[in-house]
């Protein structure tokens, strides 16, 4: 039985990368996964967080910020500044993005610099956090190329690629790359984050008013792994 948008269970949504979307950033890309669209921009600041200096930690640092623009959802989403604090979901997502992207960079080669990855959701239709990781990695790779071109590093500190995708049990079947309609009805949904070496960075998963078996868990992780492999191929093609 086909999915509501006609995709096969193991098929990604249409994916595009539009580089150079933010000219003042060192590296940037607009990633579109179906109807989800996120601008990912990488900026570099000389210097590192104070805690690194206090603890004698050498090398650089990578951190991420994530936000959903007010018009990214069907109903207007108030800006965090209007509420006086960042919502917990946003904090959790940007920490996930930061953890994922820190696996991509040789922080010693980066030197005493902070690489900021800003992810701004223009349109949300499921998978905004996974799109942010996938697009954020491309933006980071472009920024690393720019650092080499500027003579600030001897060689690119990019050590590997990383990407992420959602999977879930929908209608009793494991499916790849959920959009919002599928995500809200999924009995179980996971976010799977892997490197180009096939090593896991993180697997986030939960039953939504349901439980899942070990066989279902393994099927979802395997499906997500195959999806990430395709995403990384697309990332690499976008960087050529």
Query: Domains of the chain (ranges plus CATH)?
Result: 15-239 (3.30.230.70)
How high is the pLDDT of residue 62? 97
> Given a cut of 90, is residue 201 above it in pLDDT?
yes
- Confidence class of residue 85 from pLDDT cuts 50, 70 and 90? confident
- Alpha-carbon torsion, ordered 93, 94, 97, 103, to 10 deg: -130
Average pLDDT over residues 192-206: 96
Among 51-60, 81-90, 98-107, which stretch is predicted with the lowest mean pLDDT?
81-90
pLDDT above 90 for 86: no
User: Is the pTM value of this prediction over 0.85?
Assistant: yes
Is the pLDDT at 193 greater than 80? The verdict is: yes
pLDDT of residue 64: 97
Q: Which residues, including other chains, have CB under 8 Å from residue 132's CB and lie 6 or more apart? A: 38, 40, 64, 66, 93, 97, 119, 121
- pLDDT at 83 > cutoff 80: no
Mean pLDDT of the chain: 95
- With a cut of 80, say whether residue 53 has pLDDT above it: yes
């Amino acid at each position: 039985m086909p999915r509501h948008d006609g995709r096969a269970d193991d098929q990604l949504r249409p994916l595009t990368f539009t580089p150079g979307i933010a000219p003042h950033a060192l590296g940037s890309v607009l990633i579109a996964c179906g109807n989800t669209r996120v601008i990912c921009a990488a900026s570099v600041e000389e210097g590192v967080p104070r805690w690194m200096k206090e603890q004698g930690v050498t090398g650089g640092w990578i951190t991420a910020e994530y936000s959903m623009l007010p018009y990214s959802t069907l109903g207007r989403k108030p800006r965090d500044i209007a509420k006086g604090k960042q919502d917990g979901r946003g904090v959790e997502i940007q920490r996930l993005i930061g953890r994922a992207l820190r696996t991509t960079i040789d922080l010693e080669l980066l030197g005493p610099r902070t690489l900021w990855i800003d992810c701004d959701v223009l349109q949300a239709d499921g998978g905004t956090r996974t799109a942010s990781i996938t697009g954020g990695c491309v933006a980071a790779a472009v920024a690393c190329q720019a650092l080499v071109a500027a003579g600030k590093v001897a060689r690119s500190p990019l050590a590997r690629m990383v990407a992420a995708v959602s999977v879930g049990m929908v209608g009793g079947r494991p499916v790849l790359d959920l959009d919002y309609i599928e995500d809200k009805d999924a009995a179980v949904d996971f976010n799977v984050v892997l490197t180009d070496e096939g090593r896991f960075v993180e697997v986030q998963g939960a039953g939504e008013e349901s439980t899942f078996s070990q066989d279902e868990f393994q099927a979802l992780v395997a499906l997500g792994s195959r999806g990430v492999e395709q995403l990384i191929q697309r990332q690499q093609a976008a960087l050529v």
